[in-house]
Amino acid sequence: MKVISTKELVKVYQSKLFSKDGITALDNFTFDVEQGEIFGLLGPNGAGKTTLIKILLGIVLKTSGDARVFESEVSNVAYKKKVGYLPENHRFPNYLTGEQVIRYFGKLSGIEGTKVDSKIDTLLEMVKMKEWRNVKIKKYSKGMMQRIGIAQALVNNPELIFLDEPTDGVDPIGRKEIRDLLLNLKSEGKTIFLNSHLLSEVELICDKVAILNKGKLLKTGSVDELTSTGNTFRFFTSELNDKVINYLLTGFKAVLHGNSEFTYNSSNDEDLNKVIDYLRQQNVLIRSFYQEKSSLESMFINLIGQEKEAVN
């Protein structure tokens, strides 16, 4: 089932009242998110990631196109009962304690006070904030605020959770805990929509990723699809002599990295085996070889770099 779907979604922020021109934050954006996925939205600063989440939650109004959550138009409010949201740089009323924040937003999600109370313990435990429950949040550190924010986003037991930079300001152990929490939620069948700049993290947990730049969707697919570089294989061998090196360079168009390592681009398994046969024939010891993947980060940097060049 499609939990989120947009079609030719456009958002232009009006720079001045009554003026025609403005900032195009989303440009014909079309995508879907399936139920049970952890979906990561990546993009440089100002790409339009937050804008997209805000449109899906009715915080920002779309300029044109179609945006649906649980098949409901985002102008309705009822679907929000099944949604949780952690905004970036949130600022909850600072005179409340952590516990009161959860209770207040729980009630705003339409949950009765008594039901919220029975959930508070579990939620605080989940984000490891039990000792801080009765402290006013103005005394919290950044990471603590983030943890309370996450607890708040889960108070209504949502089926879809939007998290805008959830690990911002959280220490490495906390980040791991949050990742585990998200995987746990996924195993319960919940859908998670994540905005993040920490690509190594996205790589670890996201099933699907979309890359956004200047409001346009550049690429979308699973992490594996996006990071695979085709059929490049990297070989580690015993020291290669000049004759072998020459043949690898001319005959197989390999790329040398020192004299015991090279990469080879093969279009099929047959060719790959030819390389192996040749090396064995020449008494070269193959220590290891693997199919190369680029990290999400290097893929991202390449992609955004190419976009920049295309503009210039």
Ligand X SMILES: Nc1ncnc2c1ncn2[C@@H]1O[C@H](COP(=O)(O)OP(=O)(O)OP(=O)(O)O)[C@@H](O)[C@H]1O
Rounded distance, CA 79 to CA 158, Å?
A: 10
Nearer Cβ to ligand X (40/106) = 40
- Using CB under 8 A as the binding rule, whether residue 160 contacts other proteins is answered as no
**Contact set for other proteins, span 82-101 (CB under 8 A):** 83, 85, 87, 89-93, 95-96
Task: Give the x-and-dash track for 24-43 against ligand X (CB under 6 A).
Answer: -x-----------------x
Footprint (CB under 6 A) of ligand X, residues 76-115: 88
Toward ligand X, which CB reaches closer, 191 or 213?
Answer: 213
H/E stretch holding 222 reads strand 216-222
Residues 26 and 55 sit within 8 Å (Cβ to Cβ): yes
Distance CA 285, CA 306 (A): 38
Per-residue CA distances from 93 to 90, 100, 131, 145, 174 (Å): 10, 10, 20, 12, 24
Cβ distance to ligand X smaller for residue 25 or 83: 25
Stretch of 72-80, 118-126, 165-173, 187-195 contacting other proteins, by CB under 8 A: 72-80
> CB 13 → ligand X: shortest distance, Å?
3
Q: Nearest approach, Cβ of 44 to ligand X (angstroms)? A: 7
- Interaction between residue 163 and ligand X (CB under 6 A): no
Cα 293 to chain centroid distance, Å, stands at 18
What element of type H or E holds 78? none
Q: What angle do CA 132, 133, 135 make, to 5 degrees?
A: 65
Q: For residue 168, count other CB atoms closer than 10 A to its CB.
A: 20
- Dig out the tokens for 267 from the structure: 């279009």
Note whether 146 binds ligand X by CB under 6 A.
Answer: no
Using the rule CB under 8 A, give the single segment among 75-83, 205-213, 225-233, 283-291 that binds other proteins: 75-83
Number of residues near other proteins (by CB under 8 A): 33
Which spans of this chain sit near Mg ion (rule: CB under 5 A)?
Answer: 49-50, 88
3, 6, 9, 49: which one contacts ligand X (CB under 6 A)?
A: 49
Q: How far apart, in whole angstroms, are the C-alpha atoms of residue 172 and residue 58? A: 33
Q: Which residues bind ligand X (CB under 6 A)?
A: 13, 23, 25, 43, 45-51, 88
